[in-house]
């Protein structure tokens, strides 16, 4: 019996994935001989508190130092323990560069307990279905070291920029700032657009409109197109009124030309990462991060008919490829023919491609086209159903026939004036039957069918309309992603993190869903542009992405690319670090001493301060108008409390800090006393004071000797000793009705009141 168990153990196989959510979905496809475990994402990274990148100048080599991530020791130990009992290992992390290095890292750990390296296989799949999983196991491979090198190169570049530039920003602007190879370019684009908006000078212009009519046909609107067969520009009301007077005096107008043609509109290609982020934002109102989060769930598997068996609904959602598998094409064509009829099915499949795509896996598509949005909606949450419907419709539409429009253009001429009207009507909906496109909702003039050239017409309601040129629109999440992709900056899979970072760092804010740089963001951007022009720019970052692709393909060496970057970067960095940065000088004098005010940055944000600080301590909040002009905001007198400062005797005043209001001495900087609420009881661990502390999530009571003593109480307390165990305090909680409950914090004591 023991021998049989031992043999069964030897036949065990271990399959390792990134996300635990995939385990349940995959387990139903494999037999009992498989154990499935997850790394829960990355298990190793460069050290958190040092650079971790060493350059050997003599041999032109770069060495990376990796640490096990803080919370992954137990995960690695459990995987290695299971691996030691198995006969074969399958590394099935995601099929991209990040997935490749996860497999590489876990394989290094497994090799310590699993000696036969030939039995450690790398497998990848684009969809979580039984055929895809079984095919991946049959087509086992090895870790692609070129992909690993590409990921390492990207990580080192980001680490260099982040670790080397950020401390300079801390020193020259304020603590807590960061720079990033891609995030700084995203900030650059937003700041440049803001400059265009602020500097934009609106210009007035006019257009001329009329209603056109003859005896037998209905009225249709026309617009002045040419004067003397030339394009024109009416700059003001005077010019427009002169033209209107002349048109009204013109006695005869006729239809001078009718142009008719058929227009075909192709379906959009299937989704890739960047386009689904844009469309989900525009059509569903999803942020980029939300789109990726929901798509991840659809990819990993969601229970449909059987609650115990999750099913993957879409292919891998991090891709820049538009390729579709032959099986998926065949299934979609069968579905379209059956559901919509032969006229909606093109004679040959519609093929899409994207220049420069990595093409590691397919476009984003439904795994089973027969699972329509109507079916899926019964089982999915609202957001999941919306996104799945969008993906399904886009995919099916991309394999349908083109939409057909009948377009007519009519020219109406009288004397030297020519008017125009364009009408477009949908003749055959084609792919629009499934996937509506916003451009096709355009307003179209209804032109009468039986009008003919040379027909005389009359003009009614001839009038001018005033317009003003508009500045370029500020970026939304969708348009910023589109621009980053267009410029070749970053990878679609990183856009969500990039947008999140520039907001967390308070470099940008959203006003009506549109990005605007903060004063801090503009200062950081200006500093980087002036001091690292060859590094923090669109063209360089796009070029670097191409080099990373070449490393992944084996066409470039990792260390050659990195050292070429670092040689130039190091020189710019040394110059930047030693350069004295000038603060922005405002066109406002200090009310206290008359010196110019400058923009400064503190923990609570930006403010105007005297350029003679510390001799003069004047500060003020400020605001800018649309033209960028600065105006000081009148400071309200701090609210005085009755509590006396124990150090100098003045009444404490209320101030506003990062975590809200607090009491402090008005004599700052001579007196730096800050009032802290404290309990009467001493810390039960070390005898220190127990004071109220504040953080982003609220407040708590903690020992003043932190970090030496980590005693803390989360919640309100009553300083009444427990009558049962004599604990020095009781915890206070309230229920929904507002009833107060007292309980002892001692876990061994059950006292409650």
In this prediction, residue 357 carries a pLDDT of 63
Q: How many CB atoms lie within 10 A of CB 738?
A: 6
Yes or no: say if 651 and 645 are a contact pair by the CB < 8 Å rule.
yes
- On whether both 20 and 138 belong to a single domain, the answer is yes
Tokens read off for 378:
């019964």
- On whether both 21 and 92 belong to a single domain, the answer is yes
Which contacts qualify for 299-304: CB closer than 8 Å, 24 or more apart?
A: 299/128, 300/19, 300/21, 300/22, 300/25, 300/128, 301/21, 301/22, 301/24, 301/25, 301/128, 302/379, 302/380, 302/384, 303/379, 304/371, 304/376, 304/379
Task: Return all residues near 17 (Cβ < 8 A) that are at least 6 apart.
Answer: 23, 26, 36, 37, 38, 39, 92, 93
Q: Which residues constitute the domain of residue 107?
A: 2-143
| Residue at 31 is within a domain | yes
CATH number at residue 569: 1.10.460.10
- Would the CA dihedral through 43, 45, 48, 50 be positive or negative? positive
- On whether both 137 and 162 belong to a single domain, the answer is no
Q: Is 243 helix (H, G, I), strand (E, B) or coil?
A: helix
Q: Order the strands of the 678-682 sheet from edge to edge.
A: 678-682, 689-695, 698-703, 712-713
Percentage of residues in the chain having pLDDT higher than 90: 51
- On whether both 423 and 438 belong to a single domain, the answer is yes
| Residue at 426 is within a domain | yes
In 111-144, alpha helices (H): 130-138
| Residue at 727 is within a domain | no
CATH number at residue 111: 3.40.50.140
Looking from the CA of 424 toward its CB, the CA atoms found within 13 Å total 14
d(CA 618, CA 608) in angstroms, rounded, equals 8
Residue 471 — left, alpha, or beta (φ > 0 → left; ψ -120 to 50 → alpha)?
A: beta
d(CA 82, CA 717) in angstroms, rounded, equals 47
Displacement of CA 153 from its chain's centroid (Å): 22
| Residue at 524 is within a domain | yes
Residue keyed to tokens 């003039």: 445
Strands (E), 214-327: 220-227, 253-265, 302-303, 310-311
In this prediction, residue 3 carries a pLDDT of 43
| Residue at 374 is within a domain | yes
- Chosen domain end from 374, 397, 420: 397
d(CA 150, CA 144) in angstroms, rounded, equals 10
CATH number at residue 429: 2.70.20.10
- On whether both 60 and 179 belong to a single domain, the answer is no
Residue keyed to tokens 């980087």: 528
Q: How many structural domains compose the chain?
A: 5
In this structure, the strands spanning 585-589 and 514-517 are unpaired
Over the chain (753 residues), the average pLDDT of each successive run of 10 is: 46 92 89 93 92 90 94 94 94 91 96 92 91 92 95 93 87 83 92 93 95 84 94 95 93 92 93 95 94 93 85 90 91 95 94 71 91 94 96 96 93 95 91 78 70 90 95 95 90 88 92 92 90 83 89 94 90 78 81 87 77 86 77 77 86 75 81 84 88 76 89 87 88 79 86 85
- On whether both 433 and 482 belong to a single domain, the answer is no
| Residue at 520 is within a domain | yes
- Element spanning 620, H or E: strand 619-620
Distances (CA, A) of 132 to 129, 329, 513, 589: 5, 16, 40, 70
- Chosen domain end from 397, 425, 448: 397
Yes or no: say if 490 and 541 are a contact pair by the CB < 8 Å rule.
yes
- On whether both 365 and 341 belong to a single domain, the answer is yes
In this prediction, residue 7 carries a pLDDT of 45
- On whether both 8 and 132 belong to a single domain, the answer is yes
Tokens read off for 338:
């059956």
Tokens read off for 100:
């490749």
Residue keyed to tokens 């310590």: 112
- On whether both 281 and 410 belong to a single domain, the answer is no
| Residue at 723 is within a domain | no
- On whether both 295 and 384 belong to a single domain, the answer is yes
Q: Whole-model pTM?
A: 0.75
d(CA 516, CA 474) in angstroms, rounded, equals 7
d(CA 272, CA 129) in angstroms, rounded, equals 20
Tokens read off for 623:
């605001």
Yes or no: say if 572 and 527 are a contact pair by the CB < 8 Å rule.
no
What are φ and ψ of residue 79, in 5° steps?
Answer: -65, -45
Task: Return all residues near 652 (Cβ < 8 A) that are at least 6 apart.
Answer: 640, 641, 643, 644, 645, 663, 664, 665, 666, 673, 675
Longest dimension (CA), the chain: 110
| Residue at 105 is within a domain | yes
Distances (CA, A) of 469 to 37, 223, 479, 722: 59, 18, 21, 74
Identify the DSSP state of 215.
S
Q: How many CB atoms lie within 10 A of CB 718?
A: 12
- On whether both 78 and 184 belong to a single domain, the answer is no
Strands (E), 445-517: 456-468, 508-511, 514-517
In this prediction, residue 468 carries a pLDDT of 96
Instruction: Return the closest-CA partner of residue 703 out of 716, 715, 713.
Output: 713
- On whether both 295 and 320 belong to a single domain, the answer is yes
Instruction: Return the closest-CA partner of residue 733 out of 717, 749, 710.
Output: 717
Displacement of CA 320 from its chain's centroid (Å): 16
Q: Is 37 helix (H, G, I), strand (E, B) or coil?
A: strand
Yes or no: say if 465 and 206 are a contact pair by the CB < 8 Å rule.
yes
CATH number at residue 299: 1.10.290.10
- Chosen domain end from 468, 494, 515: 468
Interhelix angle for 382-397 vs 288-300, to 10°? Answer: 80
In this prediction, residue 57 carries a pLDDT of 87
| Cα torsion through 102, 104, 105, 111, rounded to 10 | 140
In this structure, the strands spanning 67-68 and 61-64 are unpaired
Yes or no: say if 211 and 241 are a contact pair by the CB < 8 Å rule.
no
Residue keyed to tokens 């509109």: 265
User: Which residues are known catalytic residues?
Assistant: 316
In this prediction, residue 58 carries a pLDDT of 87
């Amino acid at each position: 019996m023991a021998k049989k168990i031992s043999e069964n153990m030897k036949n065990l196989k271990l399959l390792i994935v990134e996300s635990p959510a995939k385990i349940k979905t995959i387990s139903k496809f494999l037999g009992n001989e498989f154990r499935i475990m997850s790394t829960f994402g990355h298990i190793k990274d460069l050290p958190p508190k040092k650079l971790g990148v060493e350059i050997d100048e003599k041999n032109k080599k770069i060495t990376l130092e990796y640490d096990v991530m803080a919370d992954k020791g137990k995960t690695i130990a459990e995987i290695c323990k299971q691996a030691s009992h198995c006969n074969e290992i399958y590394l099935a992390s995601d099929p991209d560069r990040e997935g490749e290095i996860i497999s590489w890292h876990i394989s290094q750990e497994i090799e310590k307990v699993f000696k036969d390296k030939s039995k450690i296989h790398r497998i990848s799949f684009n969809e979580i279905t039984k055929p895809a999983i079984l095919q991946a196991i049959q087509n086992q491979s090895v870790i692609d070291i070129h992909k690993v090198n590409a990921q390492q190169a990207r990580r080192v570049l980001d680490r260099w920029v982040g670790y080397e530039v950020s401390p300079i920003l801390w020193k020259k602007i304020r603590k807590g700032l960061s720079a990033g190879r891609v995030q700084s370019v995203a900030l650059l684009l937003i700041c440049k657009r803001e400059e265009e908006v602020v500097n934009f000078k609106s210009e007035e212009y006019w257009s001329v409109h009329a209603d056109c009519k003859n005896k037998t046909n209905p009225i249709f609107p026309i617009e002045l197109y040419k004067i003397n067969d030339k394009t024109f520009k009416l700059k003001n009301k005077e010019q427009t009124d002169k033209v209107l007077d002349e048109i009204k005096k013109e006695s005869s107008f006729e239809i001078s030309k009718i142009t008719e043609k058929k227009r075909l509109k192709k379906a959009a290609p299937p989704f890739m990462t960047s386009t689904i982020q844009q469309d989900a934002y525009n059509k569903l109102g999803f942020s980029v991060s939300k789109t990726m989060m929901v798509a991840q769930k659809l990819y990993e598997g969601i229970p449909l008919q059987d609650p115990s068996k999750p099913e993957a609904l879409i292919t891998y959602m991090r891709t820049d490829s538009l390729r579709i598998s032959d099986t998926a094409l065949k299934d979609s064509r069968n579905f379209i023919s059956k559901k919509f009829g032969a006229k909606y099915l093109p004679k040959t499949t519609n093929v899409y491609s994207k220049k420069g795509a990595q093409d590691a896996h397919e476009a984003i598509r439904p795994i089973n086209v027969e699972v329509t949005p109507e079916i899926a909606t019964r089982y999915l949450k609202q957001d999941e159903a919306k996104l799945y419907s969008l993906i399904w419709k886009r995919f099916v539409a991309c394999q349908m026939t083109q939409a057909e429009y009948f377009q007519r253009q009519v020219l109406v001429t009288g004397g030297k004036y020519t008017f125009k009207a364009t009408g477009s009507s949908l003749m055959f909906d084609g792919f629009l039957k499934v996937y509506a496109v916003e451009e096709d909702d355009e307003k179209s003039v209804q032109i009468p069918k039986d009008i003919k050239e040379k027909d005389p017409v009359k003009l009614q309601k001839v009038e001018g309309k005033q317009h003003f040129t508009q500045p370029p629109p500020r970026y939304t999440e969708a348009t910023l992603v589109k621009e980053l992709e267009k410029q070749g900056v970053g990878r679609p899979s990183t856009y969500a993190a990039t947008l999140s970072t520039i907001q967390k760092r308070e470099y940008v804010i959203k006003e009506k869903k549109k990005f605007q740089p903060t004063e801090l963001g503009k200062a950081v951007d200006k500093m980087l542009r002036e001091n690292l022009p060859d590094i923090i720019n669109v063209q360089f970052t796009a070029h670097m992405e191409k080099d990373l692709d070449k490393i992944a393909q084996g066409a470039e060496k990792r260390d050659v690319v990195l050292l070429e970057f670092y040689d130039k970067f190091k020189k710019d960095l040394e110059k930047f670090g030693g350069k004295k940065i000038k603060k922005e000088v405002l066109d406002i004098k200090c009310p206290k001493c008359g010196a110019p005010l400058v923009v400064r940055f503190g923990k609570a944000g930006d403010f105007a301060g005297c350029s003679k600080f510390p001799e003069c301590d004047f500060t003020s909040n400020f605001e800018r108008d649309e033209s960028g002009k600065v105006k000081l905001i009148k400071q309200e007198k701090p609210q005085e409390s009755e509590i006396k400062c124990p150090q100098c005797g003045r009444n404490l005043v209320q101030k506003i800090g990062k975590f809200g209001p607090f009491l402090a001495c008005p004599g700052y900087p001579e007196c730096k006393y800050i009032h802290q609420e404290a309990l009467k009881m001493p810390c039960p661990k070390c005898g220190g004071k127990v004071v109220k502390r504040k953080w982003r999530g609220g407040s708590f009571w903690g020992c003043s000797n932190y970090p030496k003593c980590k005693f803390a109480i989360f919640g309100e307390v009553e300083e009444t000793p427990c009558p049962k165990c004599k604990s020095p305090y009781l915890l206070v909680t309230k229920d929904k009705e507002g009833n107060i409950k007292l309980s002892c914090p001692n876990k061994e004591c059950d006292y409650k009141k």
